[in-house]
């Protein structure tokens, strides 16, 4: 039997935060929540407090010189987590502003100790800690007293078996603030503003005794409170080797695309669990193909999920798809929220996939997706796409993504992001000029680990959707956009051909 | 918690019966304010309660000019001696009505700031002790 101490981890009640923290908040830890004004520190503290406080393990929230308590109570109760019934029963608010105003840290500490001794709280919050720091500096002029204060507070709170949070503003993370050394956990909250977009991000700089998810994690503040979006890669666990083998055999199952003839071109349909990129210029029929893919799933008794970044399905333009969404067979992820991150989008997709038990997912389109992202995420768009596609694949769904492709007749490209390698299959659509008309051709460029057609087939779009026609064997140079009629003499007159060369 | 409790001031203070006169009413009111201080000072600080008290005096002063707060309103604490003196100077009925109106205004003011449920959650012990307001009844058919 082990005699090592077992550290309990508390569920914070903040969606996504426990995951980022590496399994919850260590009990009796001494934590600092830092960040600029307005970044959500007090909200985070309240959300954790209302989730964890009980009459047996109550919370004390000490307000110092930051936000006036009346205002704090006024605004915090706008959040769903604020339950007035818990106040007094399991949550006490204690004002220390008058003690802090005289700058006597001993007096502040004494008040805290008195209250903690009296009520034996399981949770202690001190908000805002910066004002304690300032009060000390104003009177003492040095940080020594503060360091003593923090060390004493940390020691006392741990001895009193209280999980403690200091909420502080403006801290410069490069500053060797003594609080950072003493704290067991450092939660840094930021607001990233670029142009007109604002993205909130959180970083766990330190959490003693456990492995946290590194890096910046986006979060959003809504009426329910704070929601953290942990990296998409963690949203679905990586499959075991046995599960991968089972998945490989599942790939033998092929899904119909809903476009007559396309399944044959794909070698018998799209293998289940694959991702397919449909690339083509504007108006070539990518969204129509995507809609057909979802509708075909419903015809076969499946459900699907769609993230539409360009045009939202409506009754007049996409009648059939609209009806399927209305009937609940297709879930539509709302992509209109401002400053949506890729991690958040993946989470929205996965939630909808789980809710509907969906097997097919459409993202229409990558170009629209990139444009909807705040500038701060665009640099990492390609990496994030790879992560998104692999997470969705791990979730077992078959994914179709469309991508706008500027027609360049001098090179054969499938994605403006170099994202072609991300997907298991690629279907490309092109315009060609023939007989003074713009006509469309389609080809299957790749289907990983599967035979597939190499034909370049003409297709048309009518009221009943995409209709794939024949090859244009008498034309050559189709991908150059301006095909020419093959010369009939080529085969019948080799001598003449040779002389031409 | 019984959130159906009537707002304060809808009935005279039970321990400040009109027959006992204004001085007794003044005593009861001062005790009520002391209890309010006990509940609220730890949460919003003495200055916070004093600011709310002054605002309540100002608002109540429109109907009871003798209660109107002196200009300034920067007091660090609730001046209970001044309140006691003011109430004692009034007739019994005026002291009862004015004292109740002040409590009701304070209650309403706090409700607009932190909501009715949290206000009643915090001040319920005070109302229960000093106000005999019976629970609101549905009107008879």
Mutate to test the interface with A, among B118, B119, B120 (most CBs of A within 10 A): B118
pLDDT for A485:
80
Q: Round to whole Å and give the CA distance between A377 and A92.
A: 41
Nearest to A33 by CA among A225, A207, A224: A207
Nearest CA to CA, how far is B141 from chain A (Å)?
A: 33
Q: Tell me, what's the pLDDT at B9?
A: 46
User: A297 pLDDT band (50/70/90 cuts)?
Assistant: very high
Statement: residue B15 has pLDDT above 50: no
**Nearest Cα residue in chain B from A74:** B114
- Do A70 and B1 count as a contact with CB atoms less than 8 A apart? no
* 3 state SS of A75: helix
Question: What are the φ/ψ torsions at residue A147 (nearest 5 degrees)?
Answer: -60, -45
Q: Does B121 sit within 8 Å of A84, measured CB to CB? A: yes
For helices A129-140 and A105-119, the axis angle rounded to 10 degrees is 140
Specify the residue for token string 């002054």.
B54
Average pLDDT, integer, range A310-323: 77
**Residue range B48-55: mean pLDDT, rounded:** 91
Q: Which residue has the higher pLDDT, A7 or B139?
A: A7
Give the mean model confidence (pLDDT) for residues B48-74: 86
Cα–Cα dist A403/A414, whole Å:
8
SS3 A312: coil
Q: In what order do the strands lie in the sheet with A437-447?
A: A330-333, A304-308, A360-364, A398-404, A275-280, A425-434, A437-447, A456-462, A465-471
Nearest CB among B44, B48, B118 relative to A84 is that of B118
Residue B137 has pLDDT above 60, yes or no: no
Q: A414-437: buried (b, 16+ CB within 10 Å) or exposed (e) per residue? A: bbeeebbebbbbbbbbbbbebeee
Query: Quick one: average pLDDT of B87-99?
Result: 92
CA-nearest residue of chain B to A77?
Answer: B114
Q: What is the pLDDT of residue A490?
A: 53
pLDDT band at A408; cut points 50, 70, 90: low
Closest CA of chain A from B86, distance in Å: 28
Can you give the pLDDT at residue A2? 66
Chain A neighbors of B113, CB-CB under 8 A: 70, 73-74
Rounded distance, CA A269 to CA B121, Å?
64
Q: CB contacts < 8 Å between A and B, how many?
A: 49
Contacts of B45 in chain A (CB under 8 A): 69, 95, 97-98
pLDDT recorded at residue A500: 43
Q: How high is the pLDDT of residue A186?
A: 92
Q: How far apart are CA A381 and CA A455, in angstroms?
A: 32
Q: Which range among A211-225, A267-281, A393-407, B79-93 shows the weakest confidence by mean pLDDT?
A: A393-407
Tell me which DSSP letter residue B13 carries.
B
Highest mean pLDDT among A187-196, A343-352, B102-111: B102-111
Q: How high is the pLDDT of residue B88? A: 93
**Average pLDDT of the residues in A143-147:** 65
CB < 8 Å to B50, chain A: none
Ranked by mean pLDDT, the top range of A97-106, A287-296, A343-352 is A287-296
Residue of A nearest to B116 (CA): A84
User: Who among B45, B52, B113 is closest to A98 (CB)?
Assistant: B45
- Please say whether the beta carbons of A51 and A14 come within 8 A: yes
Token pair, residue A396, equals 């077992």
Q: How far is CA A357 from CA A161, A269, A305, A352, A450, in A?
A: 44, 21, 10, 8, 27
Place of tokens 């609209």: A322
Query: How far is residue A20's CA from residue A28's CA, in Å, rounded to a whole number?
Result: 19
What percentage of residues in chain A have a pLDDT greater than 70?
Answer: 84
Most confident of the ranges A43-52, A207-216, A224-233, A392-401: A43-52
Burial class for A144, CB neighbours closer than 10 Å (0-12, 13-18, 19+): exposed
d(CA A16, CA A227): 6
Q: Decide if B121 and A87 are in contact by the 8 Å CB cutoff.
A: yes
- Helix (H) and strand (E) counts for chain B? 4, 0
Q: What is the pLDDT of residue A463?
A: 86
Distance CA A413, CA A420 (A): 9
Pick A91 or A365 by higher pLDDT.
A91
Alpha carbons A227 and A248: distance in angstroms, whole number: 35
Tell me the Cα Rg of chain B: 15
Q: Which pairs from A142-148 meet CB under 8 Å and 24+ separation?
A: A143/A178, A145/A105, A146/A105, A146/A178, A146/A179, A147/A178, A147/A182, A148/A105
> Percentage of chain A surpassing pLDDT 90?
42
Residue whose C-alpha is closest to residue A333's, from A318, A360, A353? A353
Instruction: Name the residue among A77, A93, A95 with its Cβ closest to that of B115.
Output: A77
Find chain B residues with C-beta within 8 A of A98's C-beta: 45-47
With beta carbons under 8 A apart, name residues in chain A contacting B52.
70
The helix-helix angle for A342-356 and A381-394 (nearest 10°) equals: 20
- How far does the CA of residue B3 sit from the closest CA of chain A (Å)? 11
For β-strands A225-228 and A254-255, DSSP reports them as unpaired
Answer whether B122 sits within 8 Å of A77, measured CB to CB. no
Chain B residues inside the 8 Å CB shell of A68: 44, 48
pLDDT, greater one: B14 or A159: A159
For tokens 């991908």, the residue is A479
Output the CA–CA distances (angstroms, integers) from residue B64 to A113, B11, B96, B130, in the order listed.
44, 17, 11, 21
Least confident range from A147-151, B24-28, B111-115: namely A147-151
pLDDT at A247 > cutoff 90: no
Q: Residue A156 pLDDT more than 70? A: yes
Q: Is the dihedral of CA A233, A234, A235, A238 positive or negative?
A: positive
Who has greater pLDDT, A375 or A80?
A80
Lowest mean pLDDT among A35-44, A98-107, A456-465, B55-64: A98-107
Which pLDDT score is estimated for A336? 74
The pLDDT confidence band at residue B138, using thresholds 50, 70 and 90, is: very low
Rounded to 10°, the helix A319-326/A286-299 angle is 40
A319 versus A419: the higher-pLDDT residue is: A319
């Amino acid at each position: 039997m082990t005699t090592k101490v077992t550290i309990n981890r508390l569920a914070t009640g903040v969606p996504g935060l426990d995951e980022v923290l590496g399994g919850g908040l260590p009990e009796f830890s001494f934590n600092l929540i830092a960040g600029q004004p307005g970044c959500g520190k007090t909200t985070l503290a309240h959300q954790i407090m209302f989730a964890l406080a009980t009459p047996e393990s109550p919370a004390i929230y000490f307000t110092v010189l930051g936000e006036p308590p009346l205002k704090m109570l006024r605004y915090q109760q706008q959040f769903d987590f604020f339950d007035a019934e818990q106040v007094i029963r399991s949550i006490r608010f204690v004002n220390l502003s008058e003690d802090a105003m005289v700058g006597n840290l001993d007096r502040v500490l004494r008040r805290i100790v008195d209250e903690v001794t009296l009520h034996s709280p399981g949770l202690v919050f001190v908000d805002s800690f910066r004002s304690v720091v300032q009060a000390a500096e104003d009177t003492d002029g040095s940080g020594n007293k503060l360091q003593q204060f923090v060390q004493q507070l940390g020691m006392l709170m741990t001895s009193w078996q209280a999980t403690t949070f200091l909420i502080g503003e403006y801290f410069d993370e490069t500053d060797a603030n003594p609080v950072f050394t003493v704290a067991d956990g450092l939660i840094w909250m930021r607001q990233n503003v670029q142009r007109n977009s604002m993205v909130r991000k959180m970083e766990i700089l330190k959490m003693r005794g456990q492995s946290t998810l590194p890096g910046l994690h986006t979060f959003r503040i809504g009426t329910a409170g704070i929601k953290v979006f942990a990296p998409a890669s963690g949203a679905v666990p990586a499959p075991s080797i046995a599960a991968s083998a089972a998945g490989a055999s599942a790939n033998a199952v092929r899904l119909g695309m809903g476009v007559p003839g396309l399944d044959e071109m794909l070698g018998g349909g799209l293998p289940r669990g694959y991702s397919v990129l449909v690339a083509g210029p504007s108006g070539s029929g990518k969204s129509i193909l995507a809609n057909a893919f979802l509708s075909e799933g419903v015809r076969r008794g499946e459900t699907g999920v769609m993230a539409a970044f360009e045009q939202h399905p409506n009754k007049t333009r996409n009648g059939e798809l609209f009806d399927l969404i209305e009937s609940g067979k297709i879930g539509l992820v709302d992509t209109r929220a401002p400053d949506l991150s890729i991690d958040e989008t993946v989470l929205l997709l996965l939630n909808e996939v789980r809710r509907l038990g969906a097997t097919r997912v459409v993202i229409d389109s990558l170009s629209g997706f990139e444009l909807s992202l705040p500038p701060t995420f665009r640099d990492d768009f390609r990496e994030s796409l790879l992560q998104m596609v692999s997470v969705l694949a791990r979730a077992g769904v078959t994914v179709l993504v469309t991508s706008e492709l500027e027609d360049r007749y001098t090179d054969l490209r499938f994605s403006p992001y170099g994202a072609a390698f991300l997907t298991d299959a690629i279907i490309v659509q092109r315009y060609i000029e023939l007989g003074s008309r713009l006509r469309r051709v389609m080809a299957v460029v790749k289907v990983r680990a599967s035979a597939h057609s190499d034909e370049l087939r003409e297709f048309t779009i009518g009221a009943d959707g995409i209709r794939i026609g024949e090859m244009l064997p008498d034309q050559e140079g189709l991908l150059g956009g301006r095909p020419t009629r093959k010369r009939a003499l080529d085969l019948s007159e080799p001598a003449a051909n040779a002389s031409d060369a | 918690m019984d959130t159906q409790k009537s707002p304060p001031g809808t009935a005279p203070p039970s321990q400040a019966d009109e027959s006992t006169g204004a001085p007794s009413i003044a005593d009861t009111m001062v005790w009520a304010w002391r209890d309010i201080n006990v509940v609220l000072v730890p949460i919003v600080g003495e200055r916070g309660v004093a600011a709310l008290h002054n605002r309540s005096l100002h608002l109540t002063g429109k109907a009871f000019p003798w209660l109107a707060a002196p200009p300034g309103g920067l007091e660090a604490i609730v001046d209970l001696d001044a309140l006691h003196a003011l109430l004692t100077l009034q007739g019994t009925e005026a002291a009862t009505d004015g004292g109740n109106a002040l409590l009701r205004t304070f209650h309403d003011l706090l409700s607009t700031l932190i909501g009715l449920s949290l206000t009643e959650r915090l001040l319920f012990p005070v109302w229960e002790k000093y106000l005999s307001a019976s629970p609101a009844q549905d009107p008879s058919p």
